[in-house]
Amino acid sequence: MKIGILGAGISGLSIARLLNNQYDVEILEKASIHGGIARTRDVNGIAYHTIGGHCFNSKHKDVLDFVFDNILPITEWNRIKRKSRIKFHNYEIDYPIEFSIRQIFENDKDLAQRITVDFFKAIDNGTYDNLKDWFLKKFGDTLAYEYFIPYNKKIWNRLPEEMDYSWVEDKLPVPNQESFFRGLINKSEDNMAHFEFYYPKSNNQNTFIDALAKDIIIHYNYEVESVNYNQISKKWHINNDKIYDIIINTTPINRFIATISNVPIDVQEAAKKLKVNGISNVLWKTKDTDKTWTYLPDSKYLFHRYIHIGSFFRPSNGYAISEVIGSHLVEEMIQSGRTDDFLIEPLDHNNSDMAYIVFDENYSSSMNIIREYLDKIGIYTLGRFGEWQYYNMDICIKKAIDMANSIKKEY
Ligand SMILES: Cc1cc2nc3c(=O)[nH]c(=O)nc-3n(C[C@H](O)[C@H](O)[C@H](O)COP(=O)(O)OP(=O)(O)OC[C@H]3O[C@@H](n4cnc5c(N)ncnc54)[C@H](O)[C@@H]3O)c2cc1C
């Protein structure tokens, strides 16, 4: 059986590796290299993540086993402790903020008291109108208005009251009354999945990506433009050129739908309603730091975070990537960065139109229509943009493991 995988990002490479032993597998990739948005660019010997920072970890044992037993042995990774800080008002506190109220108290007693009173006053009845309502009910008015609402407005480029909340629950540590109280009396604890993470000892994420691509047939510079199902041969035809029994899409689903022949109007319309935010960033030489991320919720800063990529390397050194949602001119980004003397010298920059899918009011209904249609015609779809989800690399791998298991059961 011949399987065609569309896209050689983390998702396409993972599912290819998982199916390669049992089936005739190949990948069609429009770029000249594999890795998708996780790939780094070399800048004077520094691995510049042109999108994001791409640290790896997972709470899923099967993902860790797949990566460390089959792809890149654990001995080839450094284990790094996350040290994230938030620039809050005119001081810095630990991330996540909800467990750092003690640190706010040391700087601003009145604000810390208001946050605490409102947190215990908030009534979470389990139903939420939108993302803003979710923040208000989970964290209380003061923390929501002082931090979550402005920060999320910045990172989504839209008002939280115009957004769905379904994606957020497993993304943020949400305190209950007991853990919030513990945070007040003890030193804050970072219990997030990525409180520690792995980064290749080579100091370059591409080592992992290249290991994932080993022994896979990849057709580079091959853009999928048309997808047809031939009723007689019962096979999928790509660009009237390549023929497969099964296809697995990992390319952006909104554009992919437009390549399939005879797509019903309601499915085409649903695909057109899907929204995604791009991202712009600058790689900087910076002062030395032991931080791994700095978050900048205040609207006076153009950037919403710095990823201290130099702290992912061993020995660590002063390099950071400053990020802003949307398309921004390099001059604007550099001018803004110059206001922070921590950022010493800009080294490179990048704009990408695909970074964060937007969970707006049309999200659920559009995705239901699309998923139902692809199920009906028998196309598999996988990955951050293939499933139009807020997936990290490990979840892409987890979904690839689950999909490979179900394909192996069926064929
Ligand atoms: C800002 C940011 C920071 C992030 N940080 C982290 C992090 O620290 N840790 C982590 O685990 N995850 C992180 N992620 C998430 C991670 O990048 C993704 O989960 C993962 O890389 C997605 O892989 P993918 O294969 O699903 O998609 P992609 O990487 O987008 O791969 C899709 C592939 O399809 C190809 N393609 C597109 N159209 C066509 C076509 N028509 N024909 C053929 N090929 C095509 C593309 O060229 C690409 O190679 C971050 C993401 C962002 C945006």
Contact by Cβ (8 Å): 97, 147: yes
Q: What is the mean pLDDT of residues 135-159?
A: 95
Nearest CA to ligand 1 atom 20: 393
What atom of ligand 1 comes closest to residue 28's alpha carbon?
A: 43
Q: Is 53 in the pocket of ligand 1 (CB under 6 A)?
A: yes
Q: With a 6 A CB cut-off, is 58 part of the ligand 1 pocket?
A: no
Distance 105 CA to ligand 1 centre (A): 40
Distance 391 CA to ligand 1 centre (A): 9
Nearest CA to ligand 1 atom 12: 392
Instruction: Give the tokens for residue 197.
Output: 């993470």
Q: Compute the distance from residue 395 Cα to the ligand 1 centre, in Å.
A: 12
Residue 194: pLDDT band (50, 70, 90) is low
Taking CA atoms only, the protein residue closest to ligand 1 atom 3 is: 52
- Higher per-residue confidence, 173 vs 350: 350
Would the pLDDT of 221 be above 60?
yes
155: left (phi over 0), alpha (psi -120 to 50) or beta: alpha
CA distance 139 to 166: 16
Single-letter residue type at 6: L
Contact at 8 Å (CB) between 296 and 306? Answer: yes
As a whole number, the mean pLDDT across the chain is 95
In the predicted structure, residue 176 carries a pLDDT above the cut 90: no
Percent of the chain whose pLDDT exceeds 70: 98
Tell me how far the alpha carbon of residue 38 lies from the centroid of ligand 1, in angstroms.
6
pLDDT of residue 188 exceeding 60, the answer is: no
Q: Report pLDDT digits (tens) over 291-344.
A: 999 999 999 999 999 999 999 999 999 999 999 999 999 999 999 999 999 999
Nearest-CA residue for atom 9 of ligand 1: 54
Percent of all residues in the chain with a pLDDT value above 90, rounded to a whole number: 91
Q: What is the pLDDT of residue 405?
A: 98
Of the pLDDT bands very low, low, confident and very high (cuts 50, 70, 90), residue 166 is confident
Structure confidence by residue, pLDDT tens digits, 68-91: 999 999 999 999 999 999 999 999
Interacting residues of 150 by C-beta distance below 8 A, sequence separation 6+: 297, 298, 299
Q: Which of 51, 241, 384 to mutate to test the pocket of ligand 1 (most atoms within 8 A of CB)?
A: 384
Domain locations in the chain as residue ranges: 2-39+62-68+204-275+360-410, 99-186
- At 359-403, the pLDDT tens digits run 988 999 999 999 999 999 999 999 999 999 999 999 999 999 999
At a CB cut-off of 8 Å and minimum separation 6, what does 397 contact? 10, 11, 14, 58, 63, 66, 67
**11 CA → ligand 1 middle, Å:** 8
pLDDT at 186 over 80: no
pLDDT at 361: 85
Given pLDDT bands bounded at 50, 70 and 90, which one contains residue 189?
low
Classify domain 2-39+62-68+204-275+360-410 by CATH architecture.
Answer: 3-Layer(bba) Sandwich (3.50)
Which pTM was predicted? Answer: 0.95
Band of residue 187 on the pLDDT scale cut at 50, 70, 90: low
Angle at alpha carbon of residue 3, lines to 385 and 40, rounded to 5°:
45
- Residues 150, 298: contact at Cβ < 8 Å? yes
Q: What pLDDT, in 10s, does the model give residues 229-255?
A: 999 999 999 999 999 999 999 999 999
Rounded distance between C-alpha atoms, residue 220 and residue 13, angstroms: 13
Is the C-beta atom of 31 inside 6 A of ligand 1? Answer: yes
- Residue 39 C-alpha to ligand 1 middle, in angstroms? 9
In this predicted structure, the answer to whether residue 192 has a pLDDT above a threshold of 80 is no
* Token pair in block for residue 263: 């797509």
Mutate to test the pocket of ligand 1, among 167, 250, 394 (most ligand atoms within 8 A of CB): 250
Predicted confidence (pLDDT) at residue 114 exceeds the cutoff of 60: yes
Q: Is 6 in the pocket of ligand 1 (CB under 6 A)?
A: yes
pLDDT bucket at 193, cuts 50 / 70 / 90:
low
Q: Where does the pLDDT of residue 171 fall: very low under 50, low under 70, confident under 90, or very high at 90 and above? A: confident
Going from the Cα of 7 to the center of ligand 1, the distance in angstroms, rounded, reads 9
Q: How far is the CA of 262 from the centre of ligand 1 (A)?
A: 28
pLDDT tens digits, residue range 249-283? 999 999 999 999 999 999 999 999 999 999 999 99
| Binding site membership of 40 for ligand 1 (Cβ less than 6 Å) | no
Atom of ligand 1 nearest to the CA of 323: 1
